[in-house]
Structure 1
Amino acid sequence: MFYSTMKLTLGNGLKLAFRPWVEGLENVPADGPAILASNHLSFSDSFFLPAVLDRKVTFVAKAEYFTSPGVKGKLTAAFFKGVGQLPVDRSGGRGAGEAAIKSGIDVLERGELFGIYPEGTRSPDGRLYRGKPGGLARIALATNAPVIPVAMIDTEKIQPPGQVMPKLMRPGIRIGKPLDFSRYQGMEGDRFVLRSVTDEVMYEIMKLSGQEYVDMYATAAKRQIAEAEKKRKAEAAEAAKAAEGRKDAA
């Protein structure tokens, strides 16, 4: 009931304000389990995709969204529960990954839709990064649920980092045809099979999104970007210090 109310309120509000366009809705089954595997450009991806679907879709979200203290924390927790997100503690390493996988399997075994971002985190620069094989492929092979590739388009432009107010523009969603991996069922322990399944899904997402593909993990790219920014600031500070020294000497 709460989900229906939140979906009606939030979904209609998003569609009215941003008017997202969508292609391929017919590829989402009217009933039964399916995995929606999407690229990840923005925090809002988990809201725009459910908004255009008739069925409930469940994602996993950081546990912090459900445990923050105070009134704001309680409202945030209620909001995320209301839109069908499940809390997972991502600080626990391998255990956290196993919890996310179990959550996904539970959702699919109930005959519902499960949403997942194979990149594991948001793209730092709008490009498509290598998919992580541990989650998506293992869930797909354990449940034999079809995998539906999804491409979010331009959602990162709505509220870029540092921008307080979102920009009213039309994001897009392209939904591809379901992928069947039943030929690999029972082989979820084979890392080469997991890699193959993941790469096939990422290739379909790339075709749908038109993004440039980068054969590295987004987490590694974020570290590189952070290190480069740290180095740039250090060099700028050093240059400023040297300039101040020259000024004093003069």
Structure 2
Amino acid sequence: MLFYWFLKYVALGPVVKLVFRPHVEGVEHVPPRGAAILASNHLSAADWVFMPLSVRRRVTFLAKAEYFTGSGLKGFLQRAFFTGAGQVPIDRTSASAAEDAIQTGLRLLRQGRLLGIYPEGTRSPDGRLFRGKTGVARMTLETGVPVVPVAMVYRPRRLPLVGWNLPAVTVRFGEALDFSRYEGLAGDRFVERSITDEIMYEIMTLSGQEYVDVYGARVKKSMDATGASASDVVSRLQPPADEAADRAPESLAG
């Protein structure tokens, strides 16, 4: 716990703010107390740094377990860093990975935490916004907590004099979404898909991204197998007919 605040206010936060000067909009929409889900687009590995720095409260993310299993000094330091930075490991390779991730998220929300989630489940392969997975919907249905849509926006910027190329970063928080009208319908895949699509629409509106109704992980897998570009892969893929992939775990990065 102390290491998180040390990183935020002493070691990492001041440097990031000085160098990047992130612009923050709508942070008043984040509840000052109590549990809530911060559902964000996922463009960069740095997303989990910029977004928590914009919020007074501690944000906990579900992180892939590989960040916690390294060996040697590097593995120890990486494990200590991510643990201290408020990340909770999830194993995305096991058969029960999706359910384990959801149960971990539910536990954190019932403790009154702010839970950071990337509904796309992986970083965008080409800067567009991809289909969201329904784990976020199930968590809000089972706990009744609000969902705050978040958009990370990066614009090219060249610093004068030094000539460095650093992104101009904007973090936008939208109005909290209340899904209490669906109370008692957790597990209904049609309701969960409707909620997830509503969340993704709000993220799209905040970010200005083009939306693609295909899972980013499917696109990445096909890109790796064929060497094709994301655009070429998307043009060949159809939105998934089944909802099984919806329940793959949302995580820190992919």
- Inter-partner Cα distance in structure 2 for 1:101 and 1:189: 12
User: Which residue is equivalent to 2:149?
Assistant: 149
Residue 42 of structure 2 aligns to a residue whose secondary structure is coil
Q: Would you tell me which structure has more helix in proportion to its own residues?
A: 1
Residue 222 of structure 1 aligns to a residue whose secondary structure is helix
- Inter-partner Cα distance in structure 2 for 1:77 and 1:227: 31
Q: Single out whichever of 193-202 and 77-86 deviates more from structure 2.
A: 77-86
Residue 187 of structure 1 aligns to a residue whose secondary structure is coil
User: Which residue is equivalent to 1:69?
Assistant: 71
- Inter-partner Cα distance in structure 2 for 1:223 and 1:64: 18
Residue 58 of structure 1 aligns to a residue whose secondary structure is strand
1:206 aligns with 2:204: yes
- The change in CA–CA distance for 1:83 and 1:167 in structure 2 (over 3 A counts) is farther
Q: Report the CA distance between 1:230 and its aligned residue.
A: 6.7
Residue 98 of structure 1 aligns to a residue whose secondary structure is helix
User: Which residue is equivalent to 2:170?
Assistant: 172
- Inter-partner Cα distance in structure 2 for 1:121 and 1:70: 27
User: Which residue is equivalent to 2:105?
Assistant: 104
Q: Report the CA distance between 1:106 and its aligned residue.
A: 1.3
Residue identity in the other structure for 2:107: D
Equivalent position to 2:81, from 76, 79, 101: 79
Unaligned runs of 5+ in 2: 158-163, 230-254
User: Which residue is equivalent to 1:185?
Assistant: 183
1:137 aligns with 2:141: no
Q: Does the 8 A contact of 1:42 with 1:122 survive in 2?
A: yes
The structure 1 segments of at least 4 consecutive aligned residues displaced by more than 4 Å after TM superposition are: none
- Inter-partner Cα distance in structure 1 for 2:212 and 2:177: 22
Q: Does the 8 A contact of 1:130 with 1:217 survive in 2?
A: yes
- Inter-partner Cα distance in structure 2 for 1:89 and 1:140: 22
Q: Report the CA distance between 1:167 and its aligned residue.
A: 4.5
- Inter-partner Cα distance in structure 1 for 2:37 and 2:87: 15
Residue identity in the other structure for 1:90: R
User: Which residue is equivalent to 1:44?
Assistant: 46
What TM-score comes out, normalization by structure 1 length? Answer: 0.84
Compare CA radii of gyration and give the structure with the larger one: 1
User: Which residue is equivalent to 1:124?
Assistant: 125
- The change in CA–CA distance for 1:130 and 1:109 in structure 2 (over 3 A counts) is same
Q: Report the CA distance between 1:34 and its aligned residue.
A: 0.6
Equivalent position to 1:227, from 200, 225, 242: 225
User: Which residue is equivalent to 2:232?
Assistant: none
- Inter-partner Cα distance in structure 2 for 1:19 and 1:56: 20
Unaligned runs of 5+ in 1: 159-165, 232-250
Residue identity in the other structure for 1:75: L
Residue identity in the other structure for 2:192: L
Q: Deviations over 1:33-85 (max 9, x none)?
A: 11000000011111111111110000011111111001111111111111110
- The change in CA–CA distance for 1:216 and 1:55 in structure 2 (over 3 A counts) is same
- Inter-partner Cα distance in structure 1 for 2:25 and 2:8: 20
- Inter-partner Cα distance in structure 1 for 2:224 and 2:3: 40
Q: Report the CA distance between 1:107 and its aligned residue.
A: 1.3
